[in-house]
Amino acid sequence: MLIEVLQAKLQKAVVTDSNVKYRGSITLDRDIMDDLGVKPYQRCDINLVGEDEYGQPFRGNSYILPGPRGTGCCEANGALSYHIAKKSEVHLNFYASVPEGSIDDDYEPIVIESNLPYMKKKK
């Protein structure tokens, strides 16, 4: 039997763009994806820190697409952009299916505290 476990988490990510005219997903800097060990089109849960513009908490799920390296991008696309605005703060949770019994008590997911350190400094 397979069980689903938290593989990785990007905490306190600042949303760098929000675009409703898009096929839907979260676009994430490829460097961040590599460090988290996640792949394009992998499922993720999105938790908005605080409330959306309608005064409601928001939690949704989608998939990720790779964005340009070194940009720190974390973009809410498609339907997500109705709830997640540019400059919002989100937590992204990524999951993996693993054989039951393959995870021991010492297992810990990869956690990155923010996308901001990934942004190249502009001169």
- In Å, what is the CA distance from 10 to each residue of 1, 83, 104, 122, 123? 28, 19, 22, 23, 27
Task: Look at residue 66 and tell me whether its pLDDT is greater than 90.
Answer: yes
Do strands 2-14 and 25-29 pair parallel, antiparallel, or not at all (unpaired)?
unpaired
Strands (E), 1-123: 2-14, 17-19, 25-29, 43-48, 59-67, 74-77, 89-99, 110-112
Q: Map tokens 């409601």 to a residue.
A: 56
**pLDDT number for residue 121:** 56
Q: Average the pLDDT over 48-53 and give the result.
A: 85
- How far, in Å, CA of 95 to CA of 86, rounded? 25
pTM of the model as a whole: 0.91
123 — pLDDT class (breaks 50, 70, 90): very low
What percentage of residues in the chain have a pLDDT greater than 90?
Answer: 80
Catalytic annotation, residues: 25, 63
Torsion over CA: 11, 34, 14, 66 (sign)? negative
- ∠ CA 41-103-46 to the nearest 5 degrees? 35
* Complete domains list, the chain, with CATH: 2-101+108-116 (2.40.40.20)
**pLDDT averaged over every residue in the chain:** 92
3-state helix, strand, coil in the chain (%, to 5): 10, 45, 45
**pLDDT number for residue 44:** 96
Render pLDDT for 77-119 as a digit per residue (tens, 0 to 9): 999 999 999 999 999 999 999 999 899 889 999 999 999 999 9
Render pLDDT for 25-41 as a digit per residue (tens, 0 to 9): 999 999 999 999 999 99
- How far, in Å, CA of 102 to CA of 4, rounded? 11
